[in-house]
Amino acid sequence: EVQLVESGGGLVQPGRSLRLSCAASGFTFDDYAMHWVRQAPGKGLEWVSGISWNSGSIGYADSVKGRFTISRDNAKNSLYLQMNSLRAEDTALYYCAKSPTSIYSGSYQFDYWGQGTLVTVSS
């Protein structure tokens, strides 16, 4: 059974940093691209960032470019999101989502999602 378990969320002041983690199990992690998708309270879904199976291709939404860094450790079956210079508008539930393919780019679904970890940016 595919499982994605996010952690690392919490309350943080504007301008500070936070690192999210996603522990994957139930599938061969290094066979698939992975993504982060967020959802602000009461709002819709927003793609944040994605990474190919070997970290060779990476992308970011314009709203986080230059502030967030995605990475993965295939030996640890883990995905990460380093979030710097956090803003109030980054407050959201952050989901880890699996791609059905190894490549970063492509017109595909996110076939498995974690339960999310809540990030609240407030003073």
Partner 1 sequence: NFMLTQPHSVSESPGKTVTISCTRSSGSIASNYVQWYQQRPGSSPTTVIYEDNQRPSGVPDRFSGSIDSSSNSASLTISGLKTEDEADYYCQSYDSSNQRNWVFGGGTKLTVL
Instruction: Provide the binding-site residues for partner 1, judged by CB under 8 A.
Output: 35, 37, 44-47, 50, 59, 61-62, 95, 104-111, 113-116
Nearer to partner 1, 9 or 116 (CB): 116
Q: What tokens appear for 79 in the block?
A: 């995905």
CA distance 115 to 96: 8
Provide DSSP, 37-51.
EEE-TTS-EEEEEEE
98: helix, coil or strand? strand
Nearer to partner 1, 7 or 105 (CB): 105
Minimum Å gap between C-beta 81 and partner 1 is 15
Nearer to partner 1, 17 or 57 (CB): 57
